[in-house]
Amino acid sequence: MIFTEEIFIQMRATLIFFALAFALTAWAGDFSFESGQQKTHLIELFTSQGCSNCPPAEAWLSKLKAEPRLWKDFVPIAFHVDYWDRLGWRDPFASKEWTARQYQYSENWKSESVYTPGFVLDGREWMGRSIPSAATEKPGVLKLSIKDQKLVVEFLAADGGAKDVDLHVATLGFDLAIKVTAGENSGRNLNQDFVVLSLTNQKMPGGKAETVLKPDSRAGAIAAWITAPNRLEAIQSVGGWLK
């Protein structure tokens, strides 16, 4: 069979069509998630595939997938930082944005350095490696719904007042397996969960916001949280499975 330029163009167009069709069905169906009045903890892990001390922390985070309290009492997420890439292995999930986030936390805590693995609980440095107790604060209900890639979020404050807050929405990847071939973890097979694949931040005037989510076939869950304007500490969080 002779492949002409016209055939190549047709084949390329067909491949693009199927790729787009797959992306659009990656989150087939509608989703709706809602926190309770009680605060849902936000657990953040700052980690890197280039850090030899990180796999045990990531293994602990992975165990949370089977916790009955997941999404109800706590929402876990893992930010991969890029400052260990210099050791020879470039973490494919790392981002300068995630590194900047950790440095901002460090600055808020009047700390002189950042490190991995580093846990943060509701905006505070956290040395624990156990599931936090249920929160006692009752800030209000955070609702999130997805329909046709359109995301609608609403915060119903406990005092009934409309709040101007900032909204943060992260898509999370699971069972992301990779063989590291350089750096401190060279030769290790890593399997990672709750990995932040994307993060959008926007203003949420009056406790309401809408946005469009880009489909990502790797995304197995979504996490959203609100903060006071220009702050890092989560007021309320919500999350759930997309698959």
What is the SS3 assignment for 41?
strand
| pLDDT confidence bin for 128, thresholds 50/70/90 | confident
Report yes or no: 49 and 190 within 8 Å, Cβ to Cβ.
Answer: yes
- pLDDT, tens digit (0-9, with 9 covering 90-100), for 24-65: 344 556 999 999 999 999 999 999 999 999 999 999 999 999
- Asked if pLDDT for residue 1 goes beyond 50, the answer is no
Phi and psi dihedrals of 192, rounded to 5?
-120, 145
- What whole-number distance in Å separates Cα of residue 163 and Cα of residue 159? 10
- Per domain, the residue ranges of the chain are 28-126+138-241
User: CB within 8 A of 177, min separation 6: which ones?
Assistant: 189, 190, 191, 192
* 100/6: higher pLDDT: 100
Q: Tell me: the pLDDT tens digits for 86-124? A: 999 999 999 999 999 999 999 999 998 999 999 999 999
Residue 28: per-residue pLDDT? 55
- The 10 Å Cβ neighbour count of residue 19 is 11
The residue with tokens 């900047």 is: 100
Model confidence pLDDT, tens digit, residues 68-77: 999 999 999 9
**Tokens (6 digits) for 37:** 């009045």
